[in-house]
Amino acid sequence: MRRHEPVARRRTVGAGGAHGELGCAISVADMADRPPRPLAEGEVLDIGGHRLRQISTPHVPHAWEAQVLFDESTGTLLCGDLFTRTGNGAALVHDTDMVSPALEAEDVFHDTCLTPSTAPTTRSLAELEPRTLALMHGPSFAGDCAGALRDLADAYAHRVNLAMSAQAV
């Protein structure tokens, strides 16, 4: 280990990766070749020019241990499957509708946990005011990222309300 590396980086070198504490406890440690480094809620890793903040998002979009990373250096939200889309397209899109394709993908896969906490969790990510959304399945998006997150939250809230109304009947 070199002494001139940032402290946060030195702690992760040689580790089996890093993830939120809950994810390490319930699944990541079981799958990793080496023990992962558990990240405290909101912990920031300096990985040399990028400062990644860990943000737990339980069940948003999927599992109990879900999380996103926010690159404070670039304003990029690494948001995983929040805006999944199908098909091929450009690697980076600007000022385009991100919500409709995400909802179309949701209609195909039904993989988002639609609960009363889905919309508030998604809205809380909008408060970060990201400049770019980096998707796991789809293009990165530059534009009104906070607006796209709020619109997605509204769409999910609508779907939860419809489902709850249908159960009440």
Average of per-residue pLDDT values in the chain: 89
Query: Among residues of the chain, what percentage have pLDDT more than 70?
Result: 90
Among 24, 4, 23, smallest CA distance to 66 is for 23
Q: How would you class 137 by CB atoms within 10 Å of its CB: exposed for 0-12, middle for 13-18, buried for 19 or more?
A: middle
Secondary structure class of 69 (helix, strand, coil): strand
Taking residues 103-108, what's their average pLDDT?
Answer: 96
Residue-wise pLDDT tens digits, 150-161: 999 999 999 999
- Tell me what pLDDT residue 17 has: 85
Query: pTM here?
Result: 0.86
- 51-77 as b/e: b if 16+ CB within 10 A: bbbbbbbbbbbeeebbbbbbbeeeebb
Residue-by-residue DSSP string for 90-119? -SEEES---HHHHHHHHHHH--S---TTHH
Say yes or no to pLDDT of 54 above 60.
yes
